[in-house]
Amino acid sequence: MKSEIVWKPTADLISKSNIQRFMRRHGIPSYDALVKRSCAEIEWFWDAVVKDLKIEFFTPYKQVLDISKGIAWAKWFVGGTINIAHNCVDKQAKDQNANQPAVIWEGEDGEVRSYSYKELYEEMNRLGNALKKLGIKKGDAVGLFMPMTPEIVSAFMAIAKVGAILVPIFSGFGADAAATRLRDCEAKVLITSDGFYRKGKEILMKSVADEAVALCPSIKNVIVKKRLGAKVNWNKQHDHDWDELIASEPSECPCEPMSSEEPFMIIYTSGTTGKPKGSVHVHGGFTVKITEEVAYQTDVQREDVLFWTTDMGWIMGPWEVVGGLALGGTIFLFEGAPDHPQPNRLWAMIERHKITTLGISPTLIRALMKYGTEPLKKHDLSSLKIIGSTGEPWNPDPYRWCLEHVGGGHCPIINLSGGTEIGACFLSPHPINELKPCTLRGPALGMDIDVFDEHGKPVREQVGELVCKKPWPGMTRGLWKDPQRYLETYWSRFENVWCHGDWAFVDKDGFWFLHGRSDDTIKIAGKRLGPAEVESVLVSHPAVAESAAIGVPHEVKGEAIWCYVILRPNIQPTEQLRTELRKLAAAKLGKSFEPDQIKFVKELPKTRNAKILRRAVRAVALGKELGDLSGLENLSSLDEIKRAL
């Protein structure tokens, strides 16, 4: 990585930032000193976070951290009682923030709605009372299978408030994928919608929900919020209209005091093989860790509007809701796609709603780049102060495009990396940091992160495994009903060290970078290469919009590189272009890394949050089992991969 700095914070940004306030409060002279102390003294740091961000416990905790059962089973804020809903909604609805917008939503048809904290509080309470009348008790699981409408926030918080366990399910799932998750946690109620709009089409959810419920005998009641007004099948025995159900319920509902270690959410992440993994997140640790990240990494303050282009079924959905509301800010949700009905929709929403904090993925930026800068120029994006990013490694050209054209040169890209099971981030810059292209800067605060070689020794200036050597509040409390799988997946590689499966690199200046999943690594004649390195080279060519690189078996070299490439509009695939791309990769990466195949496709398999599913590309290319594809949005892309063969 070149040593060039592409972004520097202004003195004004530094002085007004949440993280600088924390440093002043504790007499910490520099960012490096803060990182060092927060990682060395994790109990001091997380206790200080609770006080700084005014996170409220009903009963004060007696011990910050208990690792008596081992690091893998760490307990945080022991003896304390707390509730996420109290910290995210009740607290704000009872202070001067009551009439501030908590949630703003825009539909694909142009409809805009908002809830103040007071309105969110009242609807949450009415739904909470209704859930209790349906027999929901503390510890019961409730499925949440809804589009990103304002009511999804009411439902999220109502479930938490009554002490039930939230099970968010990706709104694009089919019946089997939804049922697998609902059965695993033995959900008793499902909250859903009749449907939503996406790319001009009506997506009917109720019919999918009906199929899923038929496969889940534990579900006794279904609550349906009508968005489309579509005609749906109605089972009078267990279906309830949202509006009718809550209409007569009181607007006050007691908040259930929960032990810090009691679960508030089971959120599932897909595995390459086997059933989805249910990550268990708890009231205390998730509240503290997520609020800390949104406060210090993305610098959200009360006057800010936070918008992450995500779904509640992905970890960034709960991240946005919990962090944004616990800080008393405003969160923005939208229906549909960011480039429909016009390529400028994302930029128009930023302007209309004065978004200050925008969360995207590198793939989304690559997809929007193909439209050029004209859609951007139509809109005033000056409200933006922070651009957040997650999901995958960046390529330099899209990173610079985003920095220059979306952020206008005045917004840092807070490129963070974590995971569903992490419940947070391992790596992240902060607004007071200088940045190099694509960097994650370094460990997140309070996270003892390192890069190990294959023998478990720390390395610098070479690619290694990203690991965490100490516990953190947001970590999953095992995998639901599968503690052995949890230990084998994350704790078996190195003793008492979490190994997540990401390749990382720390340069000579101490800047950290990711190089993709270690199970995606391409190994050629004994040399290792991350697919992101190949993809970055290809995307730098003016004809290429997106790419995915995979390793395939080769009898001489061990593996060879195959690349699947999406071209920019009006560019035709030719043998000359194919040769150009192969030579470009060889020139940039070395002759031994020249791709054996360049294949032109119209689309690549992606999740709803725009992450390319490389393992699906590889499985199709090699004719292997596809594994869990429940998170895949565009199944037709697999036919494209087959056609390219």
* Structure-block tokens of residue 164: 């039930």
pTM: 0.87
8 A C-beta contact, residue 385 and residue 357: yes
pLDDT score of 527:
67
- Name the residue among 176, 161, 241 with its Cα closest to residue 209: 176
- 149 within domain boundaries: yes
- Could you tell me which residues come within 8 angstroms of residue 623 by beta carbon, excluding any fewer than 6 positions away? none
Number of folded domains in the chain?
2
CA distance 389 to 15: 23
CA distance 19 to 15: 9
pLDDT score of 85:
98
Among residues 232, 259, 286, the one where a domain terminates is 259
pLDDT score of 205:
96
Among residues 223, 241, 259, the one where a domain terminates is 259
8 A C-beta contact, residue 453 and residue 459: yes
For 143, 191, 303, 322, 627, the CA distances from 102, given in Å and listed in that order, are 23, 21, 11, 11, 39
- 550 within domain boundaries: yes
- 594 within domain boundaries: yes
CATH number of domain containing 230: 3.40.50.980
8 A C-beta contact, residue 603 and residue 641: no
- Name the residue among 540, 548, 511, 551 with its Cα closest to residue 392: 548
- 285 within domain boundaries: no
Write the pLDDT tens digit of every residue in 278-319: 999 999 999 999 999 999 999 999 999 999 999 999 899 999
Residues of the chain with pLDDT under 50: 1, 272-273
CA-derived radius of gyration, the chain: 24
Domain that holds residue 147: 118-259
pLDDT score of 526:
62
The residue type at 42: I
**End-to-end C-alpha distance for the chain, whole angstroms:** 34
pLDDT score of 273:
47
CATH number of domain containing 564: 3.30.300.30
CA distance 589 to 594: 8
Among residues 204, 235, 259, the one where a domain terminates is 259
Helix, strand, or coil (residue 252) = coil
CA distance 127 to 136: 11
Cα atoms in the 13 Å half-sphere on the side-chain side of 274: 9
- 48 within domain boundaries: no
CA distance 557 to 374: 45
pLDDT score of 411:
96
Place of tokens 């509040």: 473
- Could you tell me which residues come within 8 angstroms of residue 642 by beta carbon, excluding any fewer than 6 positions away? 620
The residue type at 2: K
Burial status of residue 14 (CB atoms within 10 A of its CB: 0-12, 13-18, 19 or more): middle
For 7, 252, 378, 409, 476, the CA distances from 401, given in Å and listed in that order, are 13, 48, 17, 10, 35
Helix, strand, or coil (residue 42) = helix
8 A C-beta contact, residue 631 and residue 615: no
Write the pLDDT tens digit of every residue in 209-242: 999 999 999 999 999 999 999 999 999 999 999 9
535 phi and psi, to 5 degrees? Answer: -65, -35
* Structure-block tokens of residue 258: 């929960």
Place of tokens 């910050």: 64
Question: What is the strand order of the sheet 449-452 is part of?
Answer: 449-452, 464-468, 498-506, 512-517
